[in-house]
Copies of this chain bind each other. A is one copy, B any other.
Amino acid sequence: MSGFSELVAARYSCRAYRTDPVPRAAVEQILEAARLAPSACNRQPWRFAAVLEADIRARLLDEGILPGLGMTWAAAAPVILALGMKKSFLTHRVAPLLSDVEYPLLDLGIAGEHAVLKATELGLGTCWIGWIRPKEVRRIVGWPADIQPQSLITVGWPAGPRARVTPRLPLDEIVTWR
């Protein structure tokens, strides 16, 4: 990688994958990048299920996401990461009372994006899938009740070149200088 800005520019939501497997060592590198993410009070609320088995991936896509969203492309991805939040007393009961802010969700976004950017560096495509059915995802991956599924991330080798660059708001619409 030439630099972080190039990595950020290279990342996109990949919705076309080759079915070639992703080596487990690559998935481990991706998860290791997530592991080192910062979190409020270093609580590390993230949990990952790395789903490589085809039948479990199929069930995640069949039962674990909302119907009618046109997610059939995800079936080709050889890896699906489920991202869940480990509930704890401090961050889930105390913090919202003090500050109205749900830190663990911010933390999960941070850790998940570490994974996504490491995958990008390895030449892999990724896509965050947010429209999940949390209870079904929990059951399918076998998580206990204190882990709340929040998102899926597909990981695989892109089937072709990037189709398009999704537009973004200009900087002056998202930044106030003070």
Binding site for B on A (CB under 8 A): 1, 3-5, 7-9, 11-13, 28-29, 31-38, 40, 42, 44, 46-53, 56, 66, 95, 98-103, 105-110, 112-114, 116-118, 121, 128, 130-134, 141-143, 150-151, 166-169, 171, 174-178
Contacts and interface: CB of A to CB of B under 8 A. Distances in A.
B141 A99 contact: no
Contact of A169 (B35, B112, B114): B35
Contacts of A176: 47-50, 141-143
Report the copy number of this chain in the oligomer. 2
A13 to B, nearest CB: 6
A169 B100 CA distance: 27
A13 B38 CA distance: 8
Nearest to A48: B175
4 closest pairs, A vs B, by CB?
A: A109-B109, A105-B105, A106-B109, A110-B113
A153 to B, nearest CB: 10
Contact of A109 (B53, B110, B177): B110
Contacts of A107: 109
A66 B99 contact: yes
B151 A42 contact: no
Contacts of A34: 174
B121 A38 contact: no
9 contacts: A1-B3, A4-B7, A31-B174, A34-B174, A38-B116, A98-B131, A102-B105, A109-B112, A142-B176
Contact of A52 (B8, B48, B66, B177): B177
